[in-house]
Amino acid sequence: MGVTYLEASVNGDDPQPKGNHYELASPHGCYRCQGEDRWCVISVRNDDEWRNFCGVIGRAELLSDTRFRNLGLRLQNRSELDAIVRDWTQVRPAEEVMTKCQTAGVPAGVVQTGADLLKDAQLRHRNYFSSFADSLIGPFEIPRSGFLFNGMTEEPLKLPSRFGADNEQILGEILGYDRETIAKWQDEEVLT
């Protein structure tokens, strides 16, 4: 949002949505890959990355294609370029696309699903998830804060109280009902 605020304050304009387009990179976007709802983000920002990307996709002839000779031309012809990238990514697993691009020095990353995140080795190494062995739905994990500061201890995450766990405190201490009335309501199954 910082760029949006800066643009509005300097130019007085309300910036319009740009989708996946970025004026400093092309190809640049989130591309469909092989498999159901699998995607990979790729961003080619300069001519070195462009050369490397053409090598990755096995399309060296694109280096001499006048439509893609420099970043400005790649931006002007981004629709054609995006079609070429989609043709390459959609027949490959997202992880393969990411690995091949990253190995060649081209920024790329898989768009991870919840299941991917739970298996992510880096997140596991960073103790990103808190486990709860005992809950109404069985054992599960939830993400913790993405930031861990040196020298600060993080409070353990706790689940909210179970339904009805605070009935006696609320009804007795706060609302003033006596124990006999509360017990009667529990016997009548008015309370759980």
Q: What is the CATH number of the domain that holds 65?
A: 3.30.1540.10
User: Looking at the structure, do residues 100 and 33 belong to the same domain, yes or no?
Assistant: yes
Residue 75 lies in a domain: yes
Residue 48 lies in a domain: yes
Least confident of 46-50, 51-55, 93-97, 132-136: 132-136
Please name the residues in contact with 10: beta carbons below 8 A apart, sequence gap of 6 or more.
none
User: Looking at the structure, do residues 15 and 78 belong to the same domain, yes or no?
Assistant: yes
Residue 148 lies in a domain: no
Is residue 108 classed as helix, strand or coil in its secondary structure? strand
* pLDDT over 70 percentage in the chain: 98
Q: What is the pTM of this model?
A: 0.71
Q: How far is CA 56 from the centre of its chain?
A: 25
User: Looking at the structure, do residues 103 and 173 belong to the same domain, yes or no?
Assistant: no
Residue 150 lies in a domain: no
Q: Name the domain boundary from 77, 96, 111.
A: 111
User: Looking at the structure, do residues 83 and 13 belong to the same domain, yes or no?
Assistant: yes
Residue 136 lies in a domain: no
User: Looking at the structure, do residues 96 and 11 belong to the same domain, yes or no?
Assistant: yes
> Residue 59: how many CB atoms within 10 A of its CB?
16
User: Looking at the structure, do residues 16 and 97 belong to the same domain, yes or no?
Assistant: yes
Start-end of H helices in the chain = 2-11, 47-56, 71-76, 78-89, 94-103, 114-119, 121-125, 167-168, 179-187
Q: How many domains does the chain have?
A: 2
Distance CA 168, CA 62 (A): 73
Is residue 48 scored above 70 in pLDDT?
yes
Please name the residues in contact with 115: beta carbons below 8 A apart, sequence gap of 6 or more.
none
Q: What is the pLDDT of residues 65-121, one digit of tens each?
A: 999 999 999 999 999 999 999 999 999 999 999 999 999 999 999 999 989 999 999
Q: Name the domain boundary from 111, 143, 168.
A: 111
pLDDT of 143 = 87
Domain that holds residue 182: 160-192
Residue 187 lies in a domain: yes
Residue 13 lies in a domain: yes
Please name the residues in contact with 80: beta carbons below 8 A apart, sequence gap of 6 or more.
67
Structure tokens at 73: 């031309």
Structure tokens at 142: 């939830």
Sequence letter at residue 22: Y
Q: What angle do CA 134, 135, 139 make, to 5 degrees?
A: 65
User: Looking at the structure, do residues 190 and 102 belong to the same domain, yes or no?
Assistant: no
End-to-end CA distance of the chain: 46
Residue 138 lies in a domain: no
Distance CA 57, CA 79 (A): 17
pLDDT of 69 = 95
